[in-house]
């Protein structure tokens, strides 16, 4: 079976081009300049559009997306809860591997541009509030196993992505880490043979300032889309969030 993630070139007069994804089925039908896109769950039509193009073939991409668009954009961060907490000695660092949720995005691609035409998830979305009720942040939520070995965590295909997390304890106390908040807006999830992963590393640093612990999370070496357009040109950027409600 061909990979789902990647570009799909729909030639003229292609009929009933089908891609099964979990409980969903994507169908493309091309007639002249018109390309019909439909997504079904069972017999129920969940999404459709018509792409008009003189180009042959018409190119459509299906890629893993940050979990932000389904059913609508409610957050910019992912709350990753470790099923087993991590204890880190003072003035030391550790690297662990975990999973983050993803969605599937369907894009119309033309030259160096792309437009998101559909986004869906194979699992029910879970959300959690990070911080106090009056000022907290709504986040996509996942509980995940962790491992010190990159091969020790197995993300579910089309549902999760692999993530590397480095925890640096810069204070003089032993700490217990049970969660991390990851800023993930506009982040590009990489893929190969339908496996997905967050490029680079989630860097969580615990330090002290004026007698108060400070937790900073930033993404290092992560590809991020420019904010003003959906260009395919990739940009390296550091995204940062302050975790001020404990760890």
Spatial CA neighbour of 214 closest among 167, 181, 171, 177: 171
Phi then psi for 152, rounded to 5 degrees? Answer: -80, -10
Does some domain include residue 197?
yes
User: Which residue, 95, 106, 75, 71, is CA-closest to 184?
Assistant: 75
The band of 242, judged by pLDDT with boundaries at 50, 70 and 90, is low
What pLDDT, in 10s, does the model give residues 113-163?
Answer: 889 999 999 998 999 998 888 888 899 999 999 999 999 999 999 999 999
Q: What is the pLDDT confidence band of residue 239, given thresholds at 50, 70 and 90?
A: low
Q: Is residue 16 part of a domain?
A: yes
Average pLDDT over residues 5-27: 93
Would you say residue 245 has pLDDT above 60?
no
Domain presence at residue 195: yes
Quote the mean pLDDT of the chain: 89
Q: Is 52's pLDDT higher than 80?
A: yes
Total domain count for the chain?
A: 1
Q: What is the secondary structure of 194-207 as a DSSP string?
A: TEEEE-SEEEEEEE
Arithmetic mean of pLDDT, 33-62: 94
Does the structure show a pLDDT above 90 at 71?
no
User: For 45-62, b where at least 16 C-beta lie within 10 A, e where not — what string?
Assistant: eebeeebebeeeebbbbb
Residue 164 covered by a domain = yes
Determine, yes or no, domain membership for 119: yes
Q: 1 lies in a domain?
A: no
Q: What is the pLDDT of residue 132?
A: 85
Q: Which residues of 204-239 are buried (b: 16+ CB within 10 A; e: fewer)?
A: bbbeeeeeebebebbbeebbbbeeeeeeeeeeeeeb
Identify whether 174 is part of a domain. yes
Residue 198 domain flag: yes
Q: Domain range spanning residue 168? A: 6-243
């Amino acid at each position: 079976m061909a990979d789902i993630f990647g570009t799909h070139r729909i030639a003229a007069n292609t009929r009933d081009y089908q891609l099964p994804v979990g409980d969903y089925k994507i169908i493309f039908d091309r007639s002249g300049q018109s390309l019909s896109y439909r997504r079904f769950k069972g017999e129920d039509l969940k999404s459709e559009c018509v792409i008009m193009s003189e180009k042959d073939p018409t190119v459509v991409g299906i890629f893993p997306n940050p979990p932000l668009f389904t059913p609508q954009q409610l957050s910019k961060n992912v709350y990753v809860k470790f099923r087993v907490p991590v204890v880190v000695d003072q003035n030391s660092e550790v690297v662990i591997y975990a999973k983050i949720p993803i969605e599937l995005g369907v894009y119309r691609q033309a030259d160096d541009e792309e437009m998101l035409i559909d986004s869906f998830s194979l699992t029910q979305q879970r959300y959690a509030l990070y911080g106090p009720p009056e000022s907290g942040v709504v986040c996509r939520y996942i509980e995940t196993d962790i491992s010190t070995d990159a091969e020790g965590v197995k993300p579910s295909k089309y549902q999760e992505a692999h993530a590397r997390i480095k925890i640096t304890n810069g204070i003089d106390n032993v700490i217990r880490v049970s969660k991390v908040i990851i800023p993930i807006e506009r982040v590009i999830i990489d893929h190969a043979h339908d496996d997905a992963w967050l490029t680079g590393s989630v860097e969580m640093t615990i330090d002290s300032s004026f007698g108060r612990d400070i937790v900073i999370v930033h993404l290092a070496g992560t590809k991020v889309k420019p904010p003003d357009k959906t260009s395919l040109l990739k940009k390296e950027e550091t995204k940062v969030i302050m975790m001020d409600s404990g760890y």
